[in-house]
Copies of this chain bind each other. A is one copy, B any other.
Amino acid sequence: MNKKQLTDEIKRTGSFLCVGLDTDIKKIPAHLLECENPVMEFNKAIIDATAPYCVAYKPNTAFYETMGAKGWENLQETVDYIRTKYPEKLIIADAKRGDIGNTSAMYARTFFETMGVDAVTVAPYMGEDSVKPFLGYDGKWVVLLALTSNKGSHDFQVKTLEDGKKLFEQVLTTSKEWGSDDTMMYVVGATQSEMLAEIRKIIPDHFLLVPGVGAQGGSLAEVSRHGMTKECGLLVNASRSIIYASNGEDFAEAAATEAKKLAEEMKSYLIEQGV
């Protein structure tokens, strides 16, 4: 999926919501545990309920890997379900991968060929040759970590380099030369919205994947005010606040209600900014 297709879907739905599929068998409604494949029952219901209000899905690989090979089957089934039923949605594997070139090439093959997602999150610490192998696929995206939403982002990402740049600014400046705004996005946490104006000076046109709204406490209004471009340029993710909105039999309706609430707020910001 290219940038124009993604932007068109944002305009069509009036939403830039990404639903994070952090499906934890220990947290899904108890009545689903009687099904043969509880994770897929849960994911299908969540996907069907939220599809009208979002433009992207982001399964988090950790939550599937923890169940071993069965979990990877569930992850593949989830991707296949979205791809078949909602081909207009962007699928991001939230995997935070990154290794030396020949190994990153295997990860790229895993996510873009075997699994068939549109985008994968990648960690920048190992530099160019750890990221480049993911950039060799037409219509696929690298979502590179820049400034994350967690407390640990203060340990290294905001350290100042001798030339005055912060590390995450160096990551943006260096890495934007590796691809284009049609092949790379960046992760910037919603809890870091005060940094968005500075970030937009370095990467005015790239899409940002913004986690941290919802359970982590970031503000959608602030993110939209400081991060939105004239083509939107934002994917704001919410995971737990949507998928665990209820753990009763009404979990899917509750997820739809939460997603709709965010989408309506998003629509108002899109109108405000004239997207």
Known: A67-B114, A106-B24, A106-B63. A129 touches B152 (CB 8 A): yes
A124 at the interface (CB under 8 A from B): yes
CB distance from A265 to the nearest CB of B (A): 23
Whether B150 contacts A130 by the Cβ 8 Å rule is yes
CA distance A104 to B150 in the complex (A): 12
Instruction: Give the nearest-CB partner of A187 in chain B.
Output: B126
A37 within 8 A of B: no
Task: List 26 contacting pairs A-B, 8 Å CB cutoff, sorted by A.
Answer: A24-B106, A62-B103, A62-B106, A62-B107, A62-B110, A63-B106, A65-B107, A65-B110, A65-B114, A66-B113, A68-B115, A69-B72, A69-B76, A94-B99, A96-B97, A96-B98, A123-B126, A124-B125, A126-B150, A127-B153, A127-B156, A129-B150, A156-B171, A160-B161, A162-B162, A162-B164
| Number of copies of this protein chain within its complex | 2
Closest 4 pairs (CB-CB, A-B): A127-B152, A127-B155, A62-B106, A69-B72
- In the complex, what residue of chain B is closest to A151 when comparing beta carbons? B129
- Are A125 and B123 in contact, CB atoms less than 8 angstroms apart? yes
Please name all residues of chain B whose beta carbon is closer than 8 Å to the beta carbon of A22 when the two chains form the complex: 102-103
Set of chain B residues within 8 Å of A128, measured between Cβ atoms = 151-152, 155
A197 at the interface (CB under 8 A from B): no
Q: Which residue of B lies closest to A178 (CB)?
A: B155
How many residues on A have C-beta within 8 angstroms of the other chain's C-beta atoms? 63
Task: Name the B residues within 8 Å of A113 (CB-CB).
Answer: 66
Question: Quick one: which of B62, B100, B161 contacts A159, CB cutoff 8 A?
Answer: B161
A156-B174 in contact given A65-B107, A99-B96, A106-B24 (Cβ < 8 Å): yes
Smallest CB gap from A113: residue in B: B66
- Chain A, residues 156-191, CB within 8 Å of chain B (1/0): the string is 110111101001001100100000000000000000
Contact of A160 with B157 at beta-carbon distance under 8 Å, contacts A65-B110, A96-B97 already known: no
A162 and chain B: residue at smallest CB distance? B160
**A60 close to B (CB within 8 Å):** yes
Q: A153 — which chain B residues lie within 8 A by C-beta? A: 126-127
B60 touches A103 (CB 8 A): yes
A109 at the interface (CB under 8 A from B): yes
Instruction: Pick the contact of A126: B97, B130, B152 (CB < 8 A).
Output: B152
A148 at the binding interface (Cβ < 8 Å): yes
B99 close to A62 (CB less than 8 A): yes
With a cutoff of 8 Å between Cβ atoms, the chain B residues found around residue A126 in the complex are 96, 123, 145, 148, 150, 152-153, 157
Query: Does A73 sit within 8 A of B, measured CB to CB?
Result: yes
